[in-house]
Amino acid sequence: MENSVLIKTEKMVKKFPIGGGFFTALNDINLNFKKGEFAGIVGPSGSGKTTLLNIIGSLDVPSEGSAVVMEKAVEKLSQREAAKLRNKYIGFIFQTFNLLPVYTVFENVEFPLLLQDFSSNERKEMVKQALEWVKLSDKEKSRPAQLSGGECQRVAVARAMVKKPQIVLADEPTANLDAKNSHNILQTMEKLNKELKTTFIFSTHDEKVIEYLHRKIRLEDGQVVNDEIITSN
Amino acid sequence: MIKFLVNGLLRDRQRSLFPILIVAIGVWITVFFHAYITGVFGELVDTTARFSTGHVKVMSRAYAENQDQKPNDLALLGADQLMSDLQQQYPKMTWTKRIQFGGLLDIPDENGETRSQGPVAGMGVDLLSPGSTEIATLNIEKAIVSGRMPQNPGEILIGDNLAQNLKVKLGETATLLTSTMYGSMTMYNFTVVGTIRFGVMAMDRGAMIADITDIQQALDMVDASGEILGYLENNIYNDEEAAVIVDQFNANYQGVDDEYAPVMGKLRELSNLSDYLAMGENFSGILIFIFIMIMSIVLWNAGLMGGLRRYGEVGIRLAIGENKGHVYRSMIYESIFIGLAGSVLGTLLGLGSAYWLQTQGLDISSMIKNINMMFPAIIRAEITHETYYIGFFPGLFSTVLGTSLSGIGIYKRQTAQLFKELEV
C-alpha cells in the first residue's frame, strides 16, 4: 500500500462553456499521486489548479479522459457516490478556514464523523486525538470567533484529519496566515503526513508552502509543464 | 446529527428567532383578521336579521317593491291567518309581525301646545303578548338606558338621543303624528316609559318602539301588518335552508295575479347583503391565499438571505461529504420546526388579541353616524373553530414552501460558490 496509486488522471481535459465556445481549463493531464505524498500544484492564477483539485475532490468531473480516485472513476460517480467518496476518503482545507461559527471547536471537528457510523464515544476519542495533533485540546469549547487565524486553520486541519482520510486537499491553506502560523500549520501537516501516511495535495503559490513540498507540479494554461520530485517520501 | 443541527439552529438566532418571529407575526395577523371579519360580518348579519329582515320576510308584492319607503298602505291583510298558516307549515321557525312606520313625535306642554317635536322611525312589535320572542330578539331589555319595558297598551320606548333632543321625561305624553294605512292623517297619544340605545346607528336615530297592537290601532291596520318575519330554528341563519323555504312559499302564489299577494324573501336578497356576505365568505380564503403568497416570498427571501449567510456551512457540508439531499432535507426539517413554532406562537397571539376584541369590543359609533345600514356601533371579533387553525397551516405551509424554494436556489448557488472558493 505504501506506494499504491490513490489518484490517477489520464488524458484528462476540462472545458467550461464560455459565450458560444469553450474555455479549456485543463488539457491532457496525466498525473499519479501515491499514498503518503506531500505534493503541491503550483502555478499562476487561471492555470487550472483549482479545477484540478475540484476534480480530484469529486466536486467536478472531467470533460474528457478520466480521473480515478481511490479506484473510483470520478466522471462515472453519481452525486451521492461522489459525496460518499469525499466523506470516506477525502479531507478539505480551505484558504478561509470555513469553520461553522455557531459551533464549538469540538463540534466543528466532530462534524465529519457525524456523517459516518461512529458511536458517540468513538467520536469523542477521535476528536480529542485530532485536537491533540494540532495542539488545541484546551480550546475545544471555544467558538471560532474566539480563535486567532492560525488557530482556526489548525481547527480546519483537525477537521480534515479527524476521520483519517487517505487524501487531504488543501487550497491555499496559508494564504490568510502570517509566516509564523504558516510554518506551524505546515509543520503540523508534514508531521501528520509522516505519521499517518496521508496524501496531501496543495494548491498554492506561497513560497513558504513550496519549501515544504516533496513534489511540485507546475501548471500553466491548463497543462503540466513540470512535475518535480523534490524530496523522496 | 439531529442534535448537531438543533444546536446550530438554537444558537443561530438569525436562523431561528428571526424566521419564527416573521411566521408568528403573519399567523397572528391572519388569525386576528379572520376573527375580526367573522365577528363583523356575523354581527352585521345578526343585526340585520334581528332588526330588519328576519331570516325570511313575508310582505305583499307591492310592499316588497317599495319596501325602502315602508309603504303601510300596501301592507298584508289577513296577517293573523297568514301567521297561523306559516306557523303550521314551518313549526320549527319563529314568526312575528312587525310594522315599520315614520312620523313626527310631538311632545306637548302643560297646555297641550307643542313643546318639542322630532321625526321618528318607529317599529311596532309584539311587546305585550305572553311568550313574545321580540323582546329577546331585539334585545330590548338590555338596550334600555332609562325607565322600564312597556307593560300596558299605549306605552312606548324612544331612542335615548331622541329623548334628550326632545327633552322628554319618563311618564310624559308623546303624540305620534303619521298617516294611516288608508292615507289619512292620524294622531295617537303614547306614554314614554323608557329610553333605549341599541348600539345600531340606523336604529337609534329617532327610534320609537311600541306594541304592535297600539300601532295597528294608530295606523288603522287591524289584522294587517307591513311585514311578517321568520327566524330559522335556533336563530341561526342558513342561506340554503332559507332559499328552500322561500321557494316553497312563493310557489304557492305563483299563479296568483294580485299585487297584494304575499311574497317571501330571504335575508341575503332583502338586505342587499349578498355581496357583503359573499365577500365575507371568500375573505378568509383570499386572506389566506395572500398570506401564503406574501409569507412565502418573505420567507423565500429570508431563506435566501440566511442561505447566503450559511454559504460556508452548506459548502463545507457538501465538501465534507454530506450529500445534497441530506443538506436539503435538514433545511426542510428546520423549516418545519420554525413553521410549527411560529404558527403556534402566532395562533396564540392571534387568539389572545381576538379574544380581547371579542370581549371588549371597539366602539365605532362616531365613525358611522350617517350610515343607514344595520351596522353595529361596537365591533367585536368572533372566535370560531376555524380561528384555531386558520393561520396555523398556512404559517407552516408557507415556511416550508419558502425554504423549499430558497433551498433549491442555495443548492445551485452553493455548488458554484464552493468551486469559486476553491479557485485560485
Domains located in chain A, CATH noted:
5-229 (3.40.50.300)
Q: Is residue B251 assigned to a domain?
A: no
Q: Is residue B150 assigned to a domain?
A: yes
Q: Look at residues B231, B249, B283 and tell me which one is the last residue of a structural domain.
A: B231
Question: According to the model, what pLDDT value does residue A56 have?
Answer: 94
User: What phi and psi values does residue B49 have, to the nearest 5 degrees?
Assistant: -65, -45
Residues of B in contact with A90 (CB under 8 A): 321
Q: Is residue B236 assigned to a domain?
A: no
Residue B308: partners with Cβ closer than 8 Å, 6 or more residues away:
B410, B413
Q: Look at residues B177, B200, B231 and tell me which one is the last residue of a structural domain.
A: B231
Per-residue pLDDT of chain B (424 residues; tens, 9 = 90+): 778 888 888 888 878 888 899 889 989 988 998 888 888 888 778 888 888 889 999 999 999 998 888 899 999 999 999 999 999 999 999 999 999 999 999 999 988 899 999 999 999 999 998 888 888 888 888 889 999 999 999 999 999 989 999 999 999 999 999 999 998 999 999 999 999 987 776 677 788 999 999 999 999 999 999 999 999 987 778 888 999 999 999 999 988 888 899 999 998 887 666 676 677 667 767 877 787 778 777 777 776 666 666 666 777 788 888 888 888 888 888 889 989 999 999 999 999 999 999 888 887 766 655 555 556 667 788 898 988 998 888 888 888 887 787 777 656 654 545 445 433 3
Got the DSSP string for A73-100?
A: EGGG--HHHHHHHHHHHEEEE-TT----
Residues of B in contact with A92 (CB under 8 A): 316, 319-320
Answer yes or no: do B109 and B62 share one domain.
yes
Answer yes or no: do B96 and B35 share one domain.
no
Q: Which domain holds residue B317?
A: 2-47+275-422
Answer yes or no: do B168 and B29 share one domain.
no
Answer yes or no: do B103 and B21 share one domain.
no
Residue B129: partners with Cβ closer than 8 Å, 6 or more residues away:
none
User: Euclidean distance between the first and final Cα of chain A, in Å?
Assistant: 14
**Residue B23, C-alpha cell as written in the block:** 411566521
Got the DSSP string for B4-32?
A: HHHHHHHH-TTTTHHHHHHHHHHHHHHHH
Q: Environment class of residue A76 by beta-carbon count within 10 Å: exposed (0-12), middle (13-18) or buried (19+)?
A: exposed
Residue whose C-alpha cell reads 331585539 in the numeric block: B138
Got the DSSP string for B154-169?
A: TEEEEEHHHHHHHT--
The one-letter amino acid at B40: V
Alpha-helical segments (H) within chain A: 49-56, 79-89, 105-114, 120-133, 149-161, 179-196, 207-212
**Residue B292, C-alpha cell as written in the block:** 401564503
Angle of the B311-320 helix axis to the A79-89 helix axis, nearest 10? 80
Residue B369: partners with Cβ closer than 8 Å, 6 or more residues away:
B201
Q: Is residue B263 assigned to a domain?
A: no
Answer yes or no: do B297 and B377 share one domain.
yes
Interface residues of chain B, partner chain A, Cβ below 8 Å? 1, 4, 7-8, 11-12, 312-313, 315-325, 415, 418-419, 421-424
CA distances from A205 to A49, A54, B301 (A): 10, 17, 39
Q: Is residue B360 assigned to a domain?
A: yes
Answer yes or no: do B186 and B295 share one domain.
no
Q: Check the CA dihedral A74-A77-A83-A87 and report its sign.
A: negative
Q: Look at residues B231, B260, B283 and tell me which one is the last residue of a structural domain.
A: B231
Answer yes or no: do B354 and B379 share one domain.
yes
Domain count, chain B: 2
Q: Under DSSP, is residue B372 helix (H, G, I), strand (E, B) or coil?
A: coil
Interface residues of chain A, partner chain B, Cβ below 8 Å? 45, 47, 49-50, 53-54, 57, 59-60, 79-80, 83-88, 90, 92, 94-96, 98, 100, 102-103, 107, 110-112, 114-115, 159, 171-172, 203-205
Q: Is residue B69 assigned to a domain?
A: yes
pTM (two decimals): 0.69
Answer yes or no: do B339 and B390 share one domain.
yes
**Mutation site for A-interface testing, chosen from B323, B412, B423, B424 by largest number of A Cβ within 10 Å:** B424
Answer yes or no: do B128 and B74 share one domain.
yes
Question: According to the model, what pLDDT value does residue A110 have?
Answer: 94
Q: Give how far A163 is from chain B: nearest CA, Å.
A: 10
Answer yes or no: do B350 and B418 share one domain.
yes
Question: According to the model, what pLDDT value does residue A41 have?
Answer: 94
Residue B127 and residue B150: Cα distance in Å, rounded?
A: 7
Contact A87 B421 (CB under 8 A): no
Question: According to the model, what pLDDT value does residue B202 have?
Answer: 63
Q: Is residue B321 assigned to a domain?
A: yes
Residue A198 and residue B44: Cα distance in Å, rounded?
A: 79
Secondary structure in 3-state letters for A157-196: HHHHHCCCCCEEEEECCCCCCCHHHHHHHHHHHHHHHHHH
Answer yes or no: do B43 and B60 share one domain.
no
Q: Is residue B260 assigned to a domain?
A: no
Compute the C-alpha angle B100/B155/B87, nearest 5°: 50
Answer yes or no: do B18 and B73 share one domain.
no
Residues of A in contact with B315 (CB under 8 A): 98
Q: Environment class of residue B184 by beta-carbon count within 10 Å: exposed (0-12), middle (13-18) or buried (19+)?
A: exposed
